[in-house]
Each structure stands twice: as structure tokens, then as C-alpha cells.
Structure 1
Amino acid sequence: MPESKVRKAAAEKKKAADRTQLAQQRSDRDRTVAAPGSRQWVPPTFITVGLLGVLWLVVYYITASVGITVPLLTDLGAWNVLIGMGLMAGAFALATLWK
């Protein structure tokens, strides 16, 4: 049995619906790619905090062994070890946020 002809208006309506559906799919895909909750800030942050902790300890140990007086470091005394280790522990805690 032969198929009936599709009216021109109906064909254009279907094309318009297909275009809007395709545009909606593209916008949905774009939204999932550019998620606002991305965690690209985590690796540079935890590397910086970890290196800051190591640097804090190195500077403290070098200045303490040579006898150089640095106003903040010298006043803190043995608390410098806790600060340096705390910064490194904070870096490891930040690393757990990385996806």
C-alpha cells in the first residue's frame, strides 16, 4: 500500500522540533562539561601548602642551627615544627578533595 504524502507544514514543524531537541541536547552536554563544582584548584593548592610546610621547617632548622635570628621564627621556638608538620598534614587533607 502506498504511503500518504506528508504535508509541508507538518514536515517543517517536525524539523523545527528536531532542531530544538538537538539544541537542548547540546546545551545539556555543555552544562555537564563545564560544571561549576570542578576541583581544578586542588592540585596547585595542596602542592603549594605542602611545599610551604617543608620550606617552613627547612628555614627553621637552618636558622636555628646557624644561630640567625628571624623575628617570627625565633619567637615561636619549637612550635615551628608543629606549624610545618601541620601545613604538610593540611596538604594531605587537601589532596583527598582531588577527583
Structure 2
Amino acid sequence: MPKSKVRKKTPYTAPADRRTPVKVKSAGPSHPIYVAVMLGVMLLGLAWLVVNYIAGDKIPLMSELGNWNFAIGFALMIGGLLMTMRWR
């Protein structure tokens, strides 16, 4: 069987006038206060849930909120976890 001919193609290069190089500023590490706030929000949510379980019926504000205490505690913890996405 005869061997097929191989075509030589030049690789495609984009025209230089269509692309302008853009310098991207590299993001540095997060500020230590950001990390402290992030961890504080997560721990505050955890503490809210623990206090609700242990003494929720003895604290007037928590007894008035009822099951909303779970929403508050989990919202605080999720807020802290969402902050971890911006942590560098």
C-alpha cells in the first residue's frame, strides 16, 4: 500500500494587533484582621448553637426566638465559611 502524503501546515498565530498584554496585579495575602473576623464569625455561630442547646430556655431572648436560633447559628457559621473563599 502506498504511503499517504503528509501536508506541512504552518501553526496559526493570532495577529499581534488584536491582543494587547495586560498586567495583572497579583493579590497578596489576606490581612490578619480578616482571618480573625472569619474565625470569630464561625466560632460565634458555634457558640450561639451551644448556648441555645445548653441554656436556651433560661435566656429570655433565645426563648423568644425559638427555632430561629438554629437559623442564626448556622447563618453565622456559613457566613464564616463563605469568607474563607476570599482568604488568601
TM-score of the pair, normalised by structure 2 = 0.62
- Residue segments in structure 1 that go unaligned for 5+ positions in a row: 1-34
**Higher fraction of helix:** 1
Contact 1:50 1:88 in 2 (8 A): yes
Within 5 Å, which residues of 2 pair with 1:22-61?
A: 39-40=30-31, 41-61=33-53
Larger Rg: 1
Matched, 1:88 2:77: yes
The separation in 2 between residues aligned to 1:93 and 1:39, in whole angstroms, is 15
Aligned length: 62
Matched, 1:98 2:87: yes
- Residue segments in structure 2 that go unaligned for 5+ positions in a row: 1-26
TM-score of the pair, normalised by structure 1 = 0.56
Q: Please provide the CA RMSD for this pair.
A: 2.2
Question: Could you tell me the percent identity over the aligned residues?
Answer: 39
Query: In the alignment, which of 68, 72, 84 is matched to residue 79 of structure 1?
Result: 68
Runs of 4+ in 1 over 2 A off after TM superposition: none
